[in-house]
Amino acid sequence: MDGFGPKVFAWFKGLERDNTREYFTSTRDFYEDSVRDALEDLLHEIAGDDVKVFRQHRDLRFTKDKSPYKTRTYGIAGRLYVALSAEGMYAGTGYYRMEREQLERYRDAVDEELTEAVAGAERAGLEIRGEQLKTAPRGYPRDHPQIDLLRRKQLIIGAALPAGRGISGERALAHARHVWDAAEPIVAWLDARVGRVSAGDA
Are the C-beta atoms of 66 and 160 separated by less than 8 Å? no
Q: Which residues pair with 103 in a beta bridge?
A: none
* Distances from the Cα of 91 to the Cα of 98, 127, 130, angstroms: 20, 11, 14
pTM of the entire predicted model: 0.92
Q: How many structural domains compose the chain?
A: 1
Q: Which residues pair with 129 in a beta bridge?
A: 156
- Structural domain that includes position 193: 3-201
- 125: three-class secondary structure by DSSP: coil
Q: Cα(46)–Cα(56) distance, rounded to whole angstroms?
A: 22
Mean pLDDT in order along the chain per 10 residues (202 residues): 95 98 98 98 97 96 91 97 98 95 96 97 97 94 94 97 97 98 98 74 42
CATH number for the domain including 48?
3.30.1460.10
Of 200, 184, 171, the residue nearest 76 (C-alpha)? 200
pLDDT in the model for residue 62? 85
pLDDT in the model for residue 197? 63
